[in-house]
Amino acid sequence: MKRSPLAPESFPELPPVPGVRLAVTRAGYKGWDRADLTFAALDEGTTVAGVTTKSRCPSPEVDWCRTALPLGRARALVVNAGNSNAFTGNRGRAAVEAITARVAKALGCQPSDVFVASTGVIGVPLPIDKAEAGIDSVLCSERATWEEAAATIMTTDTFPKAAARSAVIGDRTVNIVGIIKGSGMIAPDMATMLGFIFTDAAVDAAFLQQMLGAANRQSYSCITVDGDTSTSDTVLAFATGKARNAPLTSVDDPGADAFQAALTDLCIDLAQQVVRDGEGASKFITVDVTGAESDASAHRIAMSIANSPLVKTAMAGEDANWGRVVMAVGKAGEPAERDLLSIRFGMTEVARHGLAVEGYDEAPVAAHLKGSEIEIGVDIGLRGGRATVWTCDLTHGYISINADYRS
């Protein structure tokens, strides 16, 4: 698969995170010649938080993580690529149990300290023999780099995705590194979004959960490729505590604000990289809604615009079709007054107070839409609610990837 035209130029420089040891191996979940099992060993004392798919039909891996997360402890992470193990009944559950038991035995920890995520074909139970052999192999593999890990969790992604931030807590500088995969949902691979964040900060598990939840609302919850939702979406954050800062336990702790800001910024970076690898994407689109009844209302309007096939095809066609934006505002079902609505593409307002701006300068709009980074601004004109979400355009490439193909 050709690298997305929206991909960053190169893989970022990433610092090590003390307390995390990465390794990868080839379990052979598919008939491919690449590593497909990623392993992270985490030092004792590591705390964990996570957010998972809202799907009502989650994979057994998601069920497992949801059960283990409240305990707040982690010693290892296993990520399988090529088989999502979703919709596989008891055999899928058995595979998760076999993986966690085997890792727990090797590390001398509880199975609930072992987190698992899988991505790939659904409806086929993860082969337990391959998973077990893969784990045995990865436990004695050499240390892998961030880039190797980011590449090994990929399925149909066209580039490995990672980012890092740092924050100062008291007299310590802590690092946060994240890797992520996902590019919409490609069959048969259900290109699930899986994200893994590692920090050497000492953070209480419950507070880490609170901060990850807040970051999620401004990042992963604000992106869409096709509006479809995987049964396996998972983001986990691990804090090893090796930076030896005074552990963060509440928003009132010194450094908590800085850590939250760094974490949120990291998550936005990672989330945007997923959009930049959207299936068939040729343009990265920022939808900015202001003046809504509330922030939640603004978010729903922004997602209605970002998910509209007509808006997304108009952007693919570089067409300043603000009528489709009005349509998407109208169908969101949120408070909106036709005669108060204003719409801009880039910096140029094309409709104001419910009317086309007569004789607006089309040149900057055309130039903006020709670019690969597009901004659609909508002011609802009611109150102060605002939201920003990110999406990509809808092109022939999306159809080719998803229709010109048999599973």
Binding mask 54-73 for its own copies (x = CB under 8 A): xxxxx---------------
Q: Is 234 in the site for its own copies (CB under 8 A)?
A: no
Instruction: Say whether residue 87 binds its own copies (CB under 8 A).
Output: yes
Site pattern 8..37 for its own copies (x: CB under 8 A): ------------------------------
Residue 188 interacting with its own copies (CB under 8 A): yes
Residue 331 binds to its own copies (criterion: CB under 8 A): yes
By CB under 8 A, the residues from 237 to 296 that bind its own copies are none
Whether omega before 111 lies within 30 degrees of 0, making that bond cis, reads: no
Counting contacts by CB under 8 A, is residue 80 touching its own copies?
Answer: no
d(CA 263, CA 255): 12
199 assigned binding-site residue:
no
Count of positions (residues) in the chain: 407
Confirm or deny that 279 is annotated as ligand binding. Answer: yes
How far apart, in Å, do the first and last CA atoms of the chain sit?
A: 17
Question: Active-site residue among 119, 192, 224, 231?
Answer: 192
* List 74, 124, 236, 266, residue binding its own copies (CB under 8 A): 124
Torsion angle, alpha carbons of 294, 298, 304, 310, to 10:
140
Q: Which of 289, 299, 294, 287 is nearest to 384 (CA)?
A: 294
Q: Residue from 5, 213, 254, 333 that binds its own copies (CB under 8 A)?
A: 333
Q: 89, 213, 364, 384: which one contacts its own copies (CB under 8 A)?
A: 89
d(CA 167, CA 361): 44
Contact track, its own copies, 310-329, x by CB under 8 A: x--xx-xxxxxxxxx-xxxx
Q: Choose between 79 and 311: whose C-beta lies nearer to its own copies.
A: 311
Contacts with its own copies by CB under 8 A: the residue count is 71
Q: Contact with its own copies (CB under 8 A): which of 4, 47, 155, 230? A: 230
Residue 283, annotated as binding a ligand? no
Angle among Cα 287, 165, 107 to the nearest 5 degrees reads 115
Residue from 177, 160, 182, 149 nearest 77 by CA: 149
Question: Edge to edge, what strands does the sheet with 114-121 contain?
Answer: 20-25, 37-42, 76-83, 114-121
Q: Which of 138, 1, 26 is nearest to 81 (CA)?
A: 26
Strands, sheet with 385-392, edge to edge from the N-terminal-most edge strand: 355-356, 348-352, 342-345, 373-379, 284-292, 385-392
Residue 192 designated active-site: yes
Residue 331 among known ligand-binding residues: no
Is residue 404 close enough to count as binding its own copies by CB under 8 A? yes
Tell me how far apart the 2 most distant CA atoms of the chain are, in Å.
72
Contact flag: residue 5 with its own copies (CB under 8 A): no
Residue 405 in contact with its own copies, rule: CB under 8 A:
yes
Least Cβ distance, residue 240 to its own copies (angstroms): 33
Q: Interaction with its own copies in 376-395: which residues (CB under 8 A)?
A: 393-395
- Residues 6+ positions from 403 with CB-CB distance below 8 Å: none
The residues that are catalytic are 192
